[in-house]
Structure 1
Amino acid sequence: MGRIMDVRQLEYFLAVVDHGGFNRAAAALYLSQPSLSQAIRTLERDLGSELFHRIGRRAVLTEAGTALIEPARTAVRGLKLARASVEAVHGLRGGRIDIAAMPSQAIEPLTGMIRRFATAHPQVSVAVRAAFTAQDAAQMVRTGVSELGLLAGPRDLPLRDVEIHPLARQRFVLLCPPDGPFPPGAAVHREQLAGARLIVGQPGTGMRGYVDELRARGVDLTTVVEVEHRVAILPLVLAGVGLAVVTDAWRPLAERTGLSVLALEPATGLDVCLISRRTALTPAARAFLENAAPADGAAP
């Protein structure tokens, strides 16, 4: 029987999974590629199973490798929790917290949250990972890729096996170029969008869900661009390519670029929340949750 594996081997294994191969994982870990390969082979020998198929320079997970991912994340997260809990006896003087955030919510409320957290705990770093849909964020939290998730969705969004921490509601608004079809400051009824050319997000996003619902109601719309890269939305609207439905998290940034931001009627939006695993959190994650909501009367 092989010796007991150590957590560092599991960290190396997860690095290969998360970075998509041995070379990139070795660079991220500041290891030589042969050293990393040897560590993984030792882990495979201890487990009695191959974890990756080596296909040229590619590393493809075997069935055994896939089965190891979640237990490995649990073990690595548990060690980090133990270390962080001991360090917290002397206050939060270091460490890092990982947050999976959807693009719109990464503008706000995440910016305000990080500002408040960094002010209270300046020695703790925050790593933000991209999650394009609410289900992406939930899966990253469930599997331990991130300790917290920030997402937005309808009130009945099914989120299994996670703790939900409600924050706020974000209303949908319409982004138009300065010379757009609607007068500045006027609310736009959804039926007035008939014939509009729209820039939309990919399926599974709130902005796409709003547009799909309009179509289901019989409002005739044209999709001119479907974009995963949200940073492209403002330039596309400014260039006159089309209009865009987004949440009002975008309002301050859009108005600074000169776009017109109009309310949509009837008012509807998405509920924003933080999520966490239903297990013990690191002290840094608990502190982030405590700092998440702005003080009464403070700007988000």
Structure 2
Amino acid sequence: MDFRQLEYFLAIVDHGGFNRAAAALYVSQPSLSQAVKVLERDLGSSLFHRMGRRAVLTEAGAALVPPAREALHALELARAGVGAVRELRGGRLDIAAMASPAVEPLSTMVQRFTERHPAVSLGLRVALTSADVVEMVRTGRCELGLLTSSSPPTAPDLVPHPLGDHRLVLVTPMDGPFPAGRPVRREQLAGHRLIVGQRGTGIRGYVDDLSAHGIDVRIAVETEHRMAFLSLVLKGVGLAVVTDSWAELSARAGALVLDLEPPARQHIVLVSRKAQPTPAARAFLDIATRPATGP
């Protein structure tokens, strides 16, 4: 067993098949398949069920995933530690992020990081819910994760790094049901059609809480595609409750952005594993948790 085989194995797991993994690794599919066959022979067990173009983990394959990720993480630590004498001169950092914090504050953090460490490649991975972020970091698929939640995450093997709050706002068409400049009380949302995200997001939690308090809101569209909400609002499909990270973009697009009463907020948290971070992750954490006005 060698690290290349483990890298190929995890690529198949993460990309869902041999062809996609080969394309992502820039290797031929036969070379990838041969490496996995050798790994399976060394371990004495099949790792995948081949189902057409898909590859589904066997029980043995599922058992290999966590130690394989740990082994590659340890290798990355060793490589990065050697190369990072005075400054980062290469390497890669994968970050899982939900849609709203990916607009802000992630874009600003990435800008500051790339200005200081332009040789480090960043991989930004989509996570639909805070639980997805936690799982991607906990299992080692990403080293850092950015999420919003009504309450801070409490996974025992993760370290939370609070970054502040997002305020929730209401986005409506310019000729919508509420006047500009006045906060909208939650009771006023009764009877209106809302565009919502999937369960497990803080924004969906706000809407579900309205229903729990007897406010008759109606779900017009439930979508995992957060960028779709603005177009749907502007076309009159419904109203949307989003974080204020979307406020500037929504206003520029011609939507009306209104405060909610009483105010509602979501915590912004960057999470990392308790294991020693790579130099790239440590540098990103330093930038993310330092005030923007800092040196």
Calculate the TM-score normalised by the size of structure 1.
0.95
Conservation of the 8 A alpha-carbon contact between 2:96 and 2:126? yes
- For 2:19, which of 23, 48, 60 is the aligned residue? 23
The Cα of 1:258 is off from its aligned counterpart by 1.4
Superposed displacement of residue 26, structure 1: 1.1
Unmatched runs of 5 consecutive residues or more in structure 1 = none
User: In the superposition, relative to structure 1, how do residues 33 and 162 fare at CA in structure 2: closer, same or farther (>3 Å)?
Assistant: same
1:250 shift after superposition:
0.7
What is the CA distance between 1:155 and its match in structure 2?
2.2
How big is the shift at 1:122? 1.6
- Report whether the alignment pairs 1:93 with 2:89: yes
Regions of 4+ moved over 4 Å: none
Deviations, residues 79-102 of structure 1 (Å, cap 9, x unaligned): 011101111114111221100000
What letter corresponds to residue 149 of structure 1 in structure 2?
Answer: G
Kept after mapping to 2: 8 A contact 1:167/1:273: yes
* Superposed counterparts of 1:1-300, under 5 Å: 5-293=1-289, 295=291
Q: 2:57 is matched by which residue type in structure 1?
A: L
Q: Residue deviations 1:208-264, cap 9 Å, x none? A: 100000000000111110010011011111111110001111111111111111111
Distance 1:250 1:263 in 2: 13
Shift of 1:295: 2.8
Which range moves more in the overlay, 7-16 or 83-92? 83-92
Residue deviations 1:27-53, cap 9 Å, x none? Answer: 111111111111001001111111012
User: Cα deviation per residue 1:157-210 (whole Å; 9 max; x = unaligned)?
Assistant: 433320100101111110011101111111111011111110000010111100
| 1:119, distance to aligned residue in structure 2 (A) | 1.4
The AA in structure 1 aligned to 2:55 is A
State the superposition RMSD in angstroms. 1.3
Contact 2:203 / 2:241 at 8 angstroms: preserved in 1?
yes
Summarize deviations over 1:132-155 as a string: whole Å, max 9, x none.
000100000011100000001022
Contact 1:167 1:272 in 2 (8 A): yes
User: Aligned partners of 2:79 and 2:152: how far apart in 1?
Assistant: 37
CA gap 1:38/1:222 in 2 versus in 1, 3 angstroms? same
Amino acid at match of 1:51: L
Flag the 1:223–1:270 CA change in 2: closer, same or farther, 3 A. Answer: same
Q: Percent identity?
A: 62
Partner of 1:230: helix, strand, or coil? Answer: coil
- The alpha-carbon deviation at position 55 of structure 1 amounts to 2.9
Once residues 156 and 215 of structure 2 are traced to their aligned partners in structure 1, the CA distance between those partners, rounded to angstroms, is 34
Aligned residues: 294
Q: Which runs of 5 or more residues in structure 2 are unaligned? A: none
Normalised to the residue count of structure 2, the TM-score between the two structures is 0.97
Q: 2 CA distance for matches of 1:234 and 1:156?
A: 28
The answer (yes or no) to whether the contact 1:113–1:293 under 8 Å persists in 2 is no
Q: Tell me, yes or no, if the aligned pair for 1:93 and 1:124 is still in contact at 8 Å.
A: yes
How far does residue 297 in structure 1 lie from its aligned partner after superposition? 5.8
Which deviates more from structure 2 when the two are superposed, residues 142-151 or residues 32-41? 32-41
What SS does structure 1 have at the residue aligned with 2:145?
Answer: strand
